[in-house]
Amino acid sequence: MSIHEYIETLCTDTKKASPSMARKSEIQKNAILCDIADAIEKNEAEIIEANILDLEAADKNGVPKTMLDRLKLTPERIKGIADAVREIVALPDPIGKGEVYTNRDGLVIKKVRAPLGVVAIIFEARPNVTYDAAALCIKSGNAVILRGGKEAINSNRCAVEIMQSVLIKHGVDKNAVSLVDDITREGTTELMQMRGYVDVIIPRGGKGLIQSVVQNSKIPCIETGAGNCHLYVEADADTEMAVSVALNAKCSRPSVCNAIETLLVHRDVAEKFLPMLESAMKEKGVELRACPDSAKYLKEFTPATNEDFETEYNDFILAVKTVSDIDEAIAHINSYGTGHSEAIITSSLTLSQKFQTEVDAAAVYVNASTRFTDGGVFGLGAEIGISTQKLHARGPMGLVEMTTTKYLINGNGQIR
């Protein structure tokens, strides 16, 4: 069977399975998720065994240590995965909720939430995402096609097998949770052509993966996760607050997409603020990459290039640039940012409103850390990713964003 035939068969089977998932009630879906959580814990030994195969192969292939760490499953992590599935049980089911009205002709028009159908998720070698993404799809009544990083293939096979056996027990066609059991790039390329079978494709991962899907997919796609975020310190800022927020936004978890990569500072406060920033960042081991104007107030730094302002470091590195006013800051952000999370520190009401109106991003903060951009914090519960596009979903995507709407109209013979 060619890759094309394999992917087409897989997508056909998943589409065929999707109604059996869509028809489950909230109580039935919660029962499935509880059983999956229990099965994850019960099959700990099997999961670790499969994971060791992946770790050994990755080690042999010289996979970097940070990636090995993300790939690795421990009993503690497996317990964490099961608990995360149980947290999804507690979230309200969006399906069937909506609005209803009766028009003057007696026609009852309901607009209700319905599953998208088949969701394809392309992600990196993180076995926890396999369970998490599948659980969110199950709770929202969707069938899912999972295509994880090739380094996790054994862990993913094991995960899908465990979940499918629970689906069968509950009378759901097991193909409602499918794995692309293929580690070639062609598999992904073929998957992106499957318009008509797959209703939405969500890439989760690095810039290269996301751009490739966005540029080449024939299936409607949701761009997630690219976060070149900024903190702008206005001339009138509370500088201690600015240092505290900058430290948190850069250092609390540099590898995540809501961490900042560039700090912009108004030139009138640079002389006071930048030395404070430097000493705080030095303690955390952060390397500063400075523009010529900000360099004047720093002791240790690397000169910043234009490339620095384009880079999502995901590391203990911070680009620093002075600007002459808020307009320059906003222009820089709208030109270099990825539309994720942006923040200003200011005491001016007018400037705070200007910043929130004119900065074009999913989340725009005044006097708070960008690190708050998160489905949990924003009240959505678990998230499938953070959308940086404007269509369908913007910002953290929870269960509601995994659904579409459907009009249901009931009459007694009305014509127009």
Interacting residues toward a copy of itself by CB under 8 A: 19, 22-23, 101, 103, 107, 109, 111, 116-117, 195, 199-200, 214-215, 218, 220-222, 238, 241, 244-245, 247-249, 252, 352, 356-358, 360-369, 371-373, 377-379, 389-392, 394-395, 404-416
Of the two residues 45 and 409, which places its CB atom closer to a copy of itself in the complex? 409
The least CB distance from residue 216 to a copy of itself, in Å, is 9
Of the two residues 74 and 353, which places its CB atom closer to a copy of itself in the complex? 353
Q: Which two tokens stand for residue 309?
A: 């302002």
- How many residues would you count in the chain? 416
The least CB distance from residue 162 to a copy of itself, in Å, is 29
Q: Which helix (H) or strand (E) holds 240?
A: helix 239-251
| Rg of the chain over all Cα atoms, to the nearest angstrom | 24
What is the rounded CA–CA span in Å between residue 288 and residue 263?
A: 10
Of the two residues 40 and 120, which places its CB atom closer to a copy of itself in the complex? 120
Of the two residues 157 and 354, which places its CB atom closer to a copy of itself in the complex? 354
Q: Please, are residues 268 and 235 in contact by the beta-carbon 8 Å criterion?
A: yes
Of the two residues 42 and 390, which places its CB atom closer to a copy of itself in the complex? 390
Of the two residues 150 and 371, which places its CB atom closer to a copy of itself in the complex? 371
**CA end-to-end distance (rounded Å), the chain:** 52
The least CB distance from residue 174 to a copy of itself, in Å, is 20
Of the two residues 9 and 74, which places its CB atom closer to a copy of itself in the complex? 9
The least CB distance from residue 45 to a copy of itself, in Å, is 36
The least CB distance from residue 92 to a copy of itself, in Å, is 15
Q: Which two tokens stand for residue 3?
A: 């890759």
Residue matched to tokens 């430097």: 278
Within a 13 Å sphere around the CA of 392, how many CA atoms are in the beta-carbon half?
Answer: 23
Those residues whose C-beta lies under 8 Å from the C-beta of residue 86, and which sit 6 or more positions away, are: 33, 34, 37
The least CB distance from residue 376 to a copy of itself, in Å, is 10
Give backbone dihedrals phi and psi of 96, rounded to 5 degrees, phi first. 85, -10
Residue matched to tokens 């969006």: 94
The least CB distance from residue 131 to a copy of itself, in Å, is 25
From residue 321, how far is each of 14, 135, 222, 303, 304 by CA, in Å? 50, 43, 31, 10, 8
Q: Please, are residues 367 and 245 in contact by the beta-carbon 8 Å criterion?
A: yes
